[in-house]
Amino acid sequence: MTGNAREAILAAATTAAQLHGYSGINFRSIGEAVGVKNASIYYHFASKADLGAAVAERYWRDTAEALRSIRESNPDPLGCLLAYPSLFRRSLENGNRLCLASFMAAEYEDLPEEVEREVKAFADINVEWLTQVLVEAGLENVERRAGSIYAAVAGAQLIARTRVDLKLFDELIDSYRESGLIPAHASTSNERY
């Protein structure tokens, strides 16, 4: 039961963070959602910072696994780039939630150091993965472009969430493809970014 309680606490804290950011991680509310007392949460996590860091770490590790899965199911790097926004779309499909790392990044100056570190890791794994895929696609200026793609997709999610409009997210992603930010076709030797 201990492992199950820990997982239930992490799941409830993740939902709270996706809806309200780090400030939404409240032991009393999480305890009520899980059906445990605060002392049970403290048994697994010594502080809110420890729980927040565990939530953010789990989130970026799950994202890294999802990115690996995209890569394995798409041998063509352009297929990977076309599939990438789906990671952010899923949060919107699941109760109009925001990417946990994006929400926490908005509170960055107020985050404990251990949570900051995990939020940075989320951005890093996304940009590193995009960089690798862009290199494989034969494009130039891949690091800058990878950061731009990550920021654009996360921004599209934020805008769509504030309007509770999944169609808007799709339209923004389509505009990124049409403009060439997210490549949708083979590159040419003259392509610059």
**pLDDT-derived band at 189, boundaries 50, 70, 90:** very low
What tens digit of pLDDT does each residue of 143-185 get?
Answer: 999 999 999 999 999 999 999 999 999 999 999 999 999 998 7
> 95 CB contacts (<8 Å, ≥6 apart)?
19
Distance CA 187, CA 24 (A): 44
State the CATH architecture for 54-179: Orthogonal Bundle (1.10)
Task: Please give the single-letter amino acid code of residue 142.
Answer: V
- The pLDDT assigned to 132 comes to 97
Per-domain residue ranges of the chain: 54-179
Task: Please give the single-letter amino acid code of residue 144.
Answer: R
What tens digit of pLDDT does each residue of 42-95 get?
Answer: 999 999 999 999 999 999 999 999 999 999 999 999 999 999 999 999 989 988
28-36 contacts at long range (C-beta below 8 A, 24 or more positions apart): 34/5, 34/8, 34/9, 36/5, 36/8, 36/9
Helix (H) or strand (E) segment spanning residue 165:
none
170 burial level (CB within 10 Å; 0-12, 13-18, 19+): middle
What tens digit of pLDDT does each residue of 16-41 get?
Answer: 988 888 999 999 999 999 999 988 99
